[in-house]
Amino acid sequence: MAERFDVGVVGAGYVGLVTGACMAHIGHTVTCVDKNEGRIENLKRGKLPIYEPQLGEMIARNRKRIRFSTELHPLVREADIVFIAVDTPPGDDGAADLSNVAAVARGIGRSLSEVERERPLIVVNKSTVPVGSGDYVSMLIQEGAEEGPNGEVSYRVVSNPEFLREGSAVYDSLFPDRIVLGAEDREALHTMRELYRPIIEQSFATELDPRPTVAVPFVTTDLASAEMIKYAANAFLATKISFANEIANICERVGADVKSVTAGIGLDHRIGPRFLDAGIGWGGSCFPKDVRALMATAREHEYEPAILAAAVSVNERQRRLVITKLQRDLHTLKGKRVALLGLSFKPNTDDLREAPSLSIARILESRGARVVGYDPVAGKRAAALMPEMKVVFDPYEALKGANAAVLVTEWEELRNLDLERAATLMARPRLLVDGRNAIEPAAARAAGLIYQGFGRE
């Protein structure tokens, strides 16, 4: 039988809440701590600060094993393992801002100096942090301890990067491709393996399918390598998308269909079919931030990451291509009404961080267009971020009187739009720019729309 642990999670945001809920689901006792009192009070009432499928239900089902607090000190006194899961936003130079991580690490150190523990506290970096942050956190814990009554404290620092996809984060936590741990202490790695044993062995009860048929790979390495694995994975996926977009732009010029091309190359097991969808490009809280942070790390060591720089350049160009495609048929954007369909950076989330919709809307507004946005989940957040953009809560209302529409986020309901109804509601020239290549060109044209995709005729 797997050992049960008292687990602390500092940071009740996206990663922290998912981590805490899933730890409780596999049998551990969890306390989630956040300095935002309003957020904690809402969580106690069952109100989540984010939209993430299945997360609310999982917290409700495991309510006896998960609690919420603003107090760090009791957590340090009682927990066997503490995850640091706070935000690490990019600075002006792209490097990760570790001020939130630093504050938590010092706080852990101060609290450790005031309590008596039988075993070392295992402090786990779950936040995405640059290479070398494990040693940095260890230094800050010690600095914090020296501010307290007892400078001699016992702890171990572990790196445990997350690989969660927004919109399927609960599934990714319970059925991961791999679990990566970095530490210099073997006992700490053994404890972390016991923590994750129900997931590694897939021995927990679940209503989610499909469950892996083999044990989840458990990768152990040193701190720096674990930290690099996270950045390298996201940088590779972002580069793969930018590569698909580069091919799409060539396809448009030579008369090829990028859908057929990527389907053909994706059958090569060395390449694979995922992350080869051409279109507007990548956004969100991870890819842009992590690629910039990795580039900043490289430049800090006097190395210019040319491939990563090219991936970023291609991605920025894809968003500008939307404007080019609109101007091709609208000629001028002044006085034109443009509907943006989908505002979150991807389906099944309300996250607007680095969302293509917002940068596209700002360019359109600056050029005199009237922008109307629709999203089934992120509409209210988008309206707060861009009050100059009219946000409606029905896709067909957004399309009414629009000269053009841009499919920005491929929500299922937008993939399945009634195209004939859309054409009837729109004003000439009835242009549809398919930013995700999610709609069949022939069907759109048959409905009376001018169709423009990416890398397609």
Cβ contact 377:357 at 8 Å? no
Residue 276 assigned ligand-binding role: yes
Backbone angles phi, psi at 407, to 5 degrees: -80, 105
Query: Residues 402, 406, 410, CA angle at the centre, nearest 5°?
Result: 130
275 is in an annotated binding site: yes
Q: Are 182 and 138 in contact (CB under 8 A)?
A: no
Q: d(Cα 235, Cα 99) in Å, to the nearest integer? A: 23
Which position among 22, 32, 251, 286 bears the catalytic label? 286
**Is 456 labelled as part of a ligand binding site?**
no
262 known member of a binding site? no
Residue 356 CB partners (closer than 8 Å, separation 6+): 280, 281, 283, 319, 322, 345, 408, 435
Torsion over CA: 126, 130, 132, 135 (sign) = negative
135 carries a ligand binding annotation: no
166 is in an annotated binding site: yes
Residue with tokens 């306390």: 31
Q: Is 163 annotated as a binding residue?
A: yes
The reply to whether 164 sits in an annotated binding site is yes
- Find out whether 220 is annotated in a ligand binding site: no
The answer to whether 128 is a known ligand-binding residue is yes
Cβ within 8 Å of residue 279, ≥6 positions away: 245, 248, 318, 434, 435, 436, 437, 453, 454
Binding residue per annotation — 346?
Answer: yes
Q: Is 277 annotated as a binding residue?
A: yes
3-state secondary structure of 90: strand
Question: Is residue 278 annotated as involved in ligand binding?
Answer: yes
**Residue that the structure tokens 């993430």 belong to:** 52
Distances, alpha carbon 272 to alpha carbons 229, 269, 397, in Å: 20, 5, 39
CA 263 to CA 201: how far, in whole Å? 34
Q: Is 209 annotated as a binding residue?
A: no
Residue 230 marked ligand-binding? yes
22 a catalytic residue: no
Enumerate the active-site residues: 286
Q: Extract the annotated binding site for substrate.
A: 163-166, 230, 275-279, 283, 346
Annotated binding site for NAD(+): 34, 39, 88, 128, 166, 289, 353
Binding site listing: 34, 39, 88, 128, 163-166, 230, 275-279, 283, 289, 346, 353
